[in-house]
Amino acid sequence: MANYSVGIFSHSSVSVPVKDKKLLEVKLGELPSWILMRDFSPSGIFGAFQRGYYRYYNKYINVKKGSISGITMVLACYVLFSYSFSYKHLKHERLRKYH
Amino acid sequence: METAQNSVPARSGSELRNAGQSWGQLGDATQVEGRVQNFHLARLVSGHLAPALTDFPIGVTGTLRLRPGLSLTMLSRVVLSAAATAAPSLKNAAFLGPGVLQATRTFHTGQPHLAPVPPLPEYGGKVRYGLIPEEFFQFLYPKTGVTGPYVLGTGLILYALSKEIYVISAETFTALSVLGVMVYGIKKYGPFVADFADKLNEQKLAQLEEAKQASIQHIQNAIDMEKSQQALVQKRHYLFDVQRNNIAMALEVTYRERLYRVYKEVKNRLDYHISVQNMMRRKEQEHMINWVEKHVVQSISTQQEKETIAKCIADLKLLAKKAQAQPVM
């Protein structure tokens, strides 16, 4: 990664720059700047997908005694995803008009 | 500063000077400038590395005041400048260019952070009901306690149903039946499949372990053989003793053979001399006898011969008479 901070040459202050923070550690006020700083190039997006994939893979699948939940979570997300895509057509099969 | 940071190869001394000056903004313009002409021959080196070849480390480490985003190349530059101070001849040998660079760069200085490779974790992340990770429950626990996520789930489901975000249709019953079958199947045959997969894993591990053990055994055998051969070295002296004895015996035998041959030869020579002497004596004897006989025979005249013959006849007659007389008795 670019701008890898070498220990003996780091700044005297202790804080980490905004760019390197994880999403859960970013304060709400910094959120827009954090989003803008992310790498939105094709390789950056691909890298983000890759990282996400490997995070999930190494946590739930690449273990000695993996359980079915590694797969069912993916299937559940797929179900929800495809439901949201077909909601437009399903809207017409509602049982009541007013909710 | 950006031009110095990017690896644009310097093509002229003026560009180097510019690069040097851009670095000089950080503190040491005059010194860097003064040394640029030393590197007229170092054009091969890319612009941002040329100042590092000066043997003036403060010019580079003075950039401690830089922003924290320092690149790793800076570290190598410090190393290079430190090496240049240690060997001042490097400054004059700058025309070697990249060769010098490769000689002074240090590789593999960091700790290897994946050796040995960490083992696979035993279990994956915990998931409740096969759908929701445990972290979500832990996330809500401080604020809502144990029932929080369940209440949230129930509320969401009811909201989706009542507002018909989820529409109940024929598909719902299909989905419910499929879900039921899946849950039943997983509950009933899950452990069986898990055991089967574990057995496969174990087989793989056993194979690898066997290979490892075989390799270890093989190497152990090699070590033992090596040790035994080393022990044999201590017994070499037997071999040498036997050889020495054999050689001594062979020497003795040859010595005796030759001695015997010498004796035979000498005896032969002496026998020859003896036989020569004997022969000479015999020949002399015979010669003498022949000579004496010849002379004696010559000396006997004819008259003497007649007399002797007459005497012999007379003697014989006498003897005959004597002999005649005696046998009658």
- Average pLDDT of span B46-64: 45
Confidence tier at A14 by pLDDT (50, 70, 90): low
**pLDDT of res. B7:** 46
Separation in Å, CA of B136 to nearest CA in chain A:
14
Indicate the average pLDDT of chain B.
78
Do A59 and B124 lie within an 8 Å CB cutoff? yes
Query: Nearest to residue B120, comparing CAs of B198, B193, B177, B47?
Result: B198
Q: 27-56 in A: which are within 8 Å (CB) of B?
A: none
A9 touches chain B (CB under 8 A): yes
Cβ atoms of residues B59 and B23 within 8 Å = yes
Q: Cβ atoms within 10 A of the Cβ of B162, count?
A: 11
Do B44 and B97 meet the contact criterion of CB atoms below 8 Å apart? Answer: yes
Q: DSSP alpha helices (H): ranges in chain B?
A: 2-5, 13-24, 29-36, 58-61, 72-86, 89-92, 98-104, 134-144, 148-162, 170-234, 236-299, 302-328
* CA dist., res. B236 & res. B87, Å (int): 53
Mutate to test the interface with A, among B164, B189, B192 (most CBs of A within 10 A): B164
pLDDT at B13: 47
Strands B132-133, B127-128: pairing is: antiparallel
B123 vs A5, A65, A95: nearest CB: A65
Give B192-221 pLDDT, tens digit per residue: 999 999 999 999 999 999 999 999 999 999
Q: Does residue B236 register a pLDDT over 60? A: yes
CA distance A19 to chain B (A): 12
Q: Is the pLDDT of residue B16 over 50?
A: no
| Structure confidence at residue A27 (pLDDT) | 77
pLDDT of residue A60 exceeding 70, the answer is yes
Determine contact: A99 vs chain B, CB below 8 A: yes
pLDDT per position as a tens digit, B105-142: 777 777 777 677 888 888 888 888 888 999 899 999 99
Higher pLDDT, B44 or A72: A72
What's the pLDDT score for residue B103?
64
Taking residues A40-64, what's their average pLDDT? 89
